[in-house]
């Protein structure tokens, strides 16, 4: 494949420091501290409602902490693949054009693609097993094929940090195996990869590190040290519901006064890819996933 032309960035560890996240000031994830070394491949697990998607959205820059902080992302390119349930696939676009959106940082919003870039799109589609699909309308793909295109788009983004939220739900075994192999390839290339998953067997087999979440951190570290019977029991006692009556978290304002956390921040969930370079943060390039 032709080498990408984006400027390489220095890999950094990502740190979560006493991180509290939520919606309208109501915490959904409490006081999480954990670090992801550069080039690590981590599964994020926990029951429904544990806050996995919330955590990944915060890493993608889509929601802002109520308390604590995330560091290590400044200057790193971040790519985010949301749950497929939230993806819009009805807009009229061909597979090749859709995958080529991964190049927007290089090409610009209305940029024309060079021959070399077109070749990279073809290479990326071939790498996900979709050689020859470039001209097919996106809405004619099966769920598994669409997921392959989304991986191709992510490959073209050439990000340093890759965040994937349940990428294998409703995907058959063969496609899952192919896409897990791609995750391993990204891991070998030194990218930092976090993947929300539910299948513990898959986590044990293919993910060296695991973050276990149950609204608060249960454990974070090597997978065999995290998936212990004691930790798995702790997941079962997680409080089920998001408590709308929980006290609204207060955060200090510039004046040192406290204010509702949701009041002056924007919990926008509109983009699949964010730039933590400080230049292009929160740029929106593609029609946003909705359903
Ligand atoms: N946009 C939102 N507004 C208000 N509450 C939300 C929003 N999104 C998620 N929540 C709540 O935050 C809590 C954590 O949700 P989240 O989606 O992060 O969990 P999850 O671990 O990813 O769950 P699942 O495995 O079911 O996808 C849940 O109680 C959920 O209802």
How confident is the model over 64-78, as pLDDT tens digits? 999 999 999 998 999
pTM: 0.81
Cα separation values, 251 from 73, 125, 257, Å: 22, 45, 8
**Is residue 284 included in any domain, yes or no?**
no
**Is residue 246 included in any domain, yes or no?**
no
**Is residue 118 included in any domain, yes or no?**
yes
CATH number at residue 22: 3.40.50.300
Question: 81 is in which domain, residue-wise?
Answer: 14-236
C-alpha 244 – ligand 1 centre gap (Å): 12
For residue 113 and ligand 1, the question of a CB distance below 6 A is answered with no
For residue 51 and ligand 1, the question of a CB distance below 6 A is answered with yes
C-alpha 242 – ligand 1 centre gap (Å): 8
Q: How far apart are CA 210 and CA 217, in angstroms?
A: 11
- Cβ atoms 186, 124 nearer than 8 A: no
- Residue 152 DSSP one-character state: H
- Cβ atoms 197, 203 nearer than 8 A: yes
**Is residue 261 included in any domain, yes or no?**
no
Residue 112's pLDDT band, with cuts at 50, 70 and 90, is confident
Residue 106, token pair as written in the block: 């290089």
C-alpha 155 – ligand 1 centre gap (Å): 27
- Residue 273 DSSP one-character state: E
Pocket test for ligand 1, best of 51, 62, 199 (most atoms within 8 A of CB): 51
- Closest C-alpha to 50, from 21, 24, 22, 29: 29
Give percent above pLDDT 70 in the chain.
74
pLDDT score recorded for residue 287: 30
pLDDT score recorded for residue 84: 74
Residue 113's pLDDT band, with cuts at 50, 70 and 90, is confident
174-223 confidence digits (pLDDT tens):
999 999 999 999 999 999 999 999 999 999 999 999 999 999 999 999 99
pLDDT at 270 over 90: no
| Ligand 1, atom nearest to 166 Cα | 27
| Ligand 1, atom nearest to 215 Cα | 14
For residue 125 and ligand 1, the question of a CB distance below 6 A is answered with no
**Is residue 257 included in any domain, yes or no?**
no
**Is residue 7 included in any domain, yes or no?**
no
Residue 104's pLDDT band, with cuts at 50, 70 and 90, is confident
Structurally, the chain folds into a number of domains equal to 1
pLDDT at 28 over 80: yes
Residue 7's pLDDT band, with cuts at 50, 70 and 90, is low
- How many helices (H) and strands (E) the chain has is answered by 9, 12
pLDDT at 277 over 50: no
For residue 48 and ligand 1, the question of a CB distance below 6 A is answered with yes
pLDDT at 46 over 80: yes
pLDDT at 150 over 80: yes
Residue 154's pLDDT band, with cuts at 50, 70 and 90, is very high
C-alpha 241 – ligand 1 centre gap (Å): 9
Helix/strand/coil percentages in the chain, nearest 5: 30, 25, 45
């Amino acid at each position: 494949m032709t080498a990408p032309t984006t400027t390489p960035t220095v890999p950094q560890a990502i740190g979560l420091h006493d991180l509290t996240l939520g919606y309208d000031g109501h915490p959904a994830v409490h006081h999480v501290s954990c670090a992801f070394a550069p080039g690590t491949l981590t599964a994020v697990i926990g029951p429904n409602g544990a806050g996995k998607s919330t955590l990944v959205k915060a890493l993608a820059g889509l929601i802002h902490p109520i308390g604590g902080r995330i560091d290590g992302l400044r200057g790193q390119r971040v790519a985010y693949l949301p749950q497929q349930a939230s993806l819009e696939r009805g807009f009229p676009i061909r597979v090749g054009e859709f995958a080529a959106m991964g190049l927007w940082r290089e090409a610009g919003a209305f940029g024309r693609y060079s021959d070399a870039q077109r070749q990279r799109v073809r290479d990326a589609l071939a790498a996900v097993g979709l050689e020859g699909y470039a001209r097919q309308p996106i809405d004619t793909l099966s769920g598994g094929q669409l997921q392959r295109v989304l991986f191709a788009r992510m490959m073209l983004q050439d990000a340093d940090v890759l965040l994937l939220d349940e990428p294998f739900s409703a995907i058959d075994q063969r496609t899952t195996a192919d896409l897990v192999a791609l995750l391993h390839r990204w891991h070998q290339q030194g990218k930092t990869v976090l993947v929300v998953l539910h299948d513990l067997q898959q986590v044990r087999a293919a993910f060296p590190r695991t973050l276990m979440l149950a609204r608060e951190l249960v454990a974070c570290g090597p997978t065999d040290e995290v998936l212990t019977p004691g930790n798995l029991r702790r997941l079962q006692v997680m409080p089920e519901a998001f408590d709308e009556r929980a006290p609204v978290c207060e955060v200090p304002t510039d004046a040192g006064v406290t204010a509702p956390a949701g009041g002056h921040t924007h919990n926008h969930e509109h983009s699949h890819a964010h730039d933590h370079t400080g230049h292009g943060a929160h740029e929106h390039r593609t029609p946003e996933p909705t359903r």
